[in-house]
Amino acid sequence: MAGPHALRRIDRSYLETIYRLEREMPCVTTSGLADLGAAAASVSGMLKNLASDGYVERGARGGARLTPHGLDERQHAISLELARLVTVLPVARRVRRR
């Protein structure tokens, strides 16, 4: 059920936001995501794309929920970011000391 394309940074951002909102409210809605600063039409389009790629499932009344695949992808993105930071921080410290 993997998507036909690699996830972009914005896709990963949506997955993370949905994950966080799922912890705070019973149903993550298009309007709830739009309240964070995106146009409702943009949010709706993104959710449609994420759903067609198997990352989220759409519920009644425009709700969205991460699928197991979406949760795995979110965790993978966090691991990649952590690996990047572990690599970049020591270099940044050395550059700052010069």
Query: Can you tell me the mean pLDDT for 35-50?
Result: 89
Q: Is residue 45 part of a domain?
A: yes
Q: Is residue 87 domain-resident?
A: yes
The Cα 36–Cα 48 span in angstroms is 18
| Within a domain: 1 | no
Higher pLDDT, 60 or 97: 60
Q: Which domain does 50 fall in, by range? A: 9-97
CATH number at 20 reads 1.10.10.10
Total domains in the fold of the chain? 1
- 3-state SS, 51-94, equals HHCCCEEECHHHCEEECHHHHHHHHHHHHHHHHHHHHHHHHHHH
Q: Domain for residue 17, yes or no?
A: yes
* 2-35 per-position pLDDT tens digit: 444 678 888 888 999 999 999 988 789 888 888 8
DSSP-derived secondary structure letter, 28: B
- For residue 78, what pLDDT is reported? 87
Q: Residue 4: inside a domain, yes or no?
A: no
pTM: 0.75
